[in-house]
Amino acid sequence: MDWARRRAGSLLAVGLCFGLAWTAAVTLSMPSWFDPTEACTHKFPAAADSADVTVRTRWFPPAASCVFDGDVRQFMSPARSAVLSVTGVLILVVLLTGLVLTVRRLSGDPGPIRAAGDVNLGRRKFNQLTFGALDIAVVVAVLTFLNATAIVFGGIAGGVLFIVVTITGLSGLCVLLDQHMGPLPSTALDGRRRGTVAGVTVFGVIFAATALTGQLPFFRLWSVPLGAITYAAVAAVQWSRVPKEASPAQYSG
C-alpha cells in the first residue's frame, strides 16, 4: 500500500490519459457532432429520402442510433458499445483509485522539516507571487482553449473529465511551485497541502466567476488574469500563516 500511495500521482495520470482516450473513442463512434443528420444519411442511404431524421445518443453505456420513417438503426454496433462500456468501467476504477490514493497523501507522516537556512525568503516569496502567478496564467490560458474543445467534442463526459484534469493539473503545478518557491520552514506534507488548496481555489474561483456571469460551460479569456491574481492572493495568505523559524538562541533556551 505504501508503494501504491507513492505512485498515486502516476496512477491518477494514467487513469486520466485513458479517460481522455475513452472519451475520444466514444466521440468518434457516434455521428459527427457538427452534422449528425448528415452522418446518419451517409451511413444509411435510405435515410436520405426521409423528411425527418432523428439522432439519439447516450454516453453510458455508449450508444447511438438513427431514427427515420419509424425505423431505428444502430449507428454504433452493440459489440463496440459493450467493449466501450467494459473499458469505461475499468478506466473509472483506475481513476477513482488514483484519486483516493492521491487524497490520502494529504495526510500521514509529514517528513523532515526543510529549514530556511541561508535562503532569501523575501526573494523566494516575490518569485512565487510573480513568476508563480505567471506560470498559472499560462496554464489557465491553455485550459481555456481545452475547455471548449473538451465540451464541444466530448459532451457531458468531456466536461466532467475536463474538471478532473484541470483540478488535478492545477493542484500538481501548485505543489511543484510550492516546492521551489513556497514558504519555509516547511515539510513535504505542508507543501502538498498548500499546493492542493491553491489549485482547487484557483479552479473554484474561475468556475464560480464563469457561472455568475452566465458563461458556463465555457471559460473566457478573462479567466487568465483572474487565475493568476487568485493564485498570488492564496500564496500571500499561505506565506503569512507560516510560523517564523526559531533562532539558535531560542533552541538553546
The string of pLDDT tens digits covering residues 46-62 is 777 777 888 888 888 89
Report yes or no: 200 and 172 within 8 Å, Cβ to Cβ. Answer: no
Q: What is the pLDDT of residue 33?
A: 73
> pLDDT by residue (tens digit) across 196-248?
999 999 999 999 999 999 888 888 899 999 999 999 999 999 999 887 654 43
In angstroms, how far is CA 142 from the centroid of its own chain?
Answer: 12
Cα gap 171→12, rounded to integer Å: 13
Q: What is the pLDDT of residue 206?
A: 95
Q: What is the pTM of this model?
A: 0.79
Under-70 pLDDT residues of the chain: 1-6, 244-253
By C-alpha distance, which of 188, 176, 6 is closest to 114? Answer: 188
Cα gap 214→100, rounded to integer Å: 32
> Would you kindly state where each structural domain of the chain is located, as residue ranges?
2-82, 120-243
Q: What is the pLDDT of residue 154?
A: 76
